[in-house]
Structure 1
């Protein structure tokens, strides 16, 4: 939920403001009610900015409430210098909103104020419509959610377990750039810390977790070699270990290298990563802790932004294969697809009933379970923060996850790695555009159409937007 400040700007002539005050207040009250009914926390200014002193005082008051986004509202003609003073006292992103009631020149007030802000280089967004307008409320909401997500990045800490995996340059980012551009610190944690903590983790808790998985999963396919109850419990103790480190070091999101050290000598992190990204474990509901496999920093940053915008778990996957005959992509990775994606249900039992735990494949001699399922169908937003020449860009598109009959699903999975999780995705981007331009092997997704929020986030972060569609 985003916190939105609302300040109405008025005419500075006493007699004109006296005539307009009730009209302005009624419009502001209606807008505030619309935003609150949409689920936002709204902080309305205690007075209308009808003098230079009020413009500064009311803006400071609203800013002190730690709002994510500030609306300057124009129901009438408004003195532009009140906007300039209020903007100077405002630290959050700005949206100028004009009432389109033709009885008063609200649009004129917004345009005059916006032009003045342009002259000093103060970034802002302009919107207009009736205060009960659902489209206006949706546009404000998208901007507010993006602003809240971007603000949440600042002052956060990313826990990086291990270094660069298998020479993967796109998984490593410049920590100075992260702090300067996003306000995110990076805490480096050796994977040996995870191993030590896992060995000391509560064996009874790991056994309880294993039994919960065995009771609810579609199958736990022990083979006596690559997957045994002991190996599954080692993975679950790793989950407990990472949870302890997260709490101890106040980590906001994380990434685990795993390959090749852990996957060859200890166990894979698939189970650990899946449940960290899930909104539950065997003890019930819990917060999602965004965790990227292969310690992918830009992947984790994309996921954290997605999560803060949507509130949902975020998919992490390789762009594994393009089925040209069907025009679908197999998004598949040995690390996490959160089990939530199997059915996208609030009930973990419903999700786990579609999840299989298979022995790891030959890539990973240490063994353990891979967390296998097919992502449930539905509209998805897919994105990735990538870099070109050191500069960030947001690569964004809409898509649809699909699922088919059992025979088709099985045939498609067998063309790659059937033991791993799969999302069959139809992208709103031509294959040739995607493959020629996408800047990583990992991609991320959340349910629904979140493009408006991601566009706004890119704008607020000052990074380039590459949005692809077939249109």
Structure 2
């Protein structure tokens, strides 16, 4: 068990079986494809010519990516439609409140990656409209998945899974771009970016009562706000260097000035699970600066520029120290400054 919860390990071949044997609602697949055709904007393909896929091949990748989302969802919560096909056992699901998908590299070297499936499941909407987001951890990072689950249970919103990828100092930014960091970013920034599984809510195209960018619980999200998040997202062909089996990575840029709390659960030898918390804000950079810095990692992936709140002491003495003391290369963004709520929840789970 994990935090008193039952854990079910399922080999990825079960997902392959469900796709290959059509253990899904075929009418829903057609609806999902039509929805994607209407709403997906496709971004640049940065692959070398020999790795680019033609229209037919890209269509097959899209179809399988959507099927992955459907089948992972069905495995988590079940689907009565499968029972109507005589697949009673498969229709039950695992009654899961969180999940993860390993993917790399045993799956992704041959099959489309999990980016599209994870991005859509983690979001507050899909082809069925606005709905509660799922919790699905990239690379089956169960520790980050627990942090996602905590954040979702605390405020009901989608959670942004991200790599804690790069620290940019003010000096380095000035040297590379010729421009200074200002405002919330003046002490440096952390590039939060993964290959495209972050919840699309993370673009922050939803609005609070004051008209400011935010992420809201699904029961407060309008269809127009969901559409705005989709419109702010491009789907870029997966980079062959990382994903030989293809896929589509979501690309968006989080609006600036939004309060966030970054968390992660770590396991420490001799101590057990611990929770890391860093409150801060998203930052909006000048376009030319963003483009230059974004290209240093991968410009086909979603980006949040994060400026943690500093105290001048310990791990929060400067921005570099926040990243240097982070437990792993993954973290979760939860909307708002809710560190105190996380601390209370963690104390209840001791």
TM superposition score category, shorter chain reference: 0.7 to 0.9
- For structure 2, which runs of at least 5 residues remain unmatched after alignment? 46-51, 79-92, 171-180, 182-187, 207-220, 310-315
Contact kept in structure 2, 1:321 and 1:330, CA below 8 Å: yes
The structure 1 residue matched to 2:139, chosen from 294, 297, 308, is 294
- Whether 1:359 aligns to 2:237 is yes
Contact kept in structure 2, 1:316 and 1:445, CA below 8 Å: yes
State the partner residue of 1:245: 75
Larger fraction in helix? 1
What displacement does 1:269 show? 0.3
State the partner residue of 1:408: 289
* Structure 2 SS opposite 1:185: coil
Cα distance in structure 2, aligned partners of 1:354 and 1:197: 32
- Whether 1:350 aligns to 2:350 is no
TM-score under structure 1 normalisation?
0.57
What displacement does 1:266 show? 1.1
Residue correspondence of structure 1 range 53-64 to structure 2 within 5 A: none
Contact kept in structure 2, 1:342 and 1:354, CA below 8 Å: yes
State the partner residue of 1:235: 65
What displacement does 1:265 show? 1.0
Contact kept in structure 1, 2:236 and 2:250, CA below 8 Å: yes
1:302-344 Cα deviation digits (max 9, x unpaired)? 1101100011101111111111124011111114111111134
State the partner residue of 1:216: 39
Moved more, 189-198 or 341-350: 341-350
1:9-64 Cα deviation digits (max 9, x unpaired)? xxxxxxxxxxxxxxxxxxxxxxxxxxxxxxxxxxxxxxxxxxxxxxxxxxxxxxxx
Runs of 4+ in structure 1 deviating by more than 4 angstroms, as ranges, are 220-223
Decide which structure has the larger Cα Rg and report it: 1
TM-score under structure 2 normalisation?
0.76
Contact kept in structure 2, 1:343 and 1:354, CA below 8 Å: no
State the partner residue of 1:33: none
State the partner residue of 1:206: 29
State the partner residue of 2:191: 330
State the partner residue of 1:47: none
Residue correspondences, number:
283
Summarize the Cα distance change of 1:366–1:426 in structure 2 as closer, same or farther, 3 Å threshold: same
- For structure 1, which runs of at least 5 residues remain unmatched after alignment? 1-174, 463-471
State the partner residue of 2:252: 373
Higher RCO by CA contacts (8 Å cutoff, separation 6 or greater): 2
What displacement does 1:207 show? 4.0
What displacement does 1:204 show? 4.8
1:204-237 Cα deviation digits (max 9, x unpaired)? 5334323323322343557535971110111001
Give the CA RMSD over aligned residues.
1.9
Contact kept in structure 1, 2:189 and 2:319, CA below 8 Å: no
State the partner residue of 1:255: 100
* Structure 1 SS opposite 2:108: helix
* Structure 2 SS opposite 1:205: helix
Residue correspondence of structure 1 range 18-57 to structure 2 within 5 A: none
Summarize the Cα distance change of 1:368–1:387 in structure 2 as closer, same or farther, 3 Å threshold: same
Residue correspondence of structure 1 range 20-419 to structure 2 within 5 A: 175=1, 178=2, 182-199=3-20, 200=22, 201-219=24-42, 223-225=52-54, 228-246=58-76, 247=78, 248-325=93-170, 326=181, 327-345=188-206, 346=221, 347-361=225-239, 362-377=241-256, 378-390=258-270, 391-419=272-300
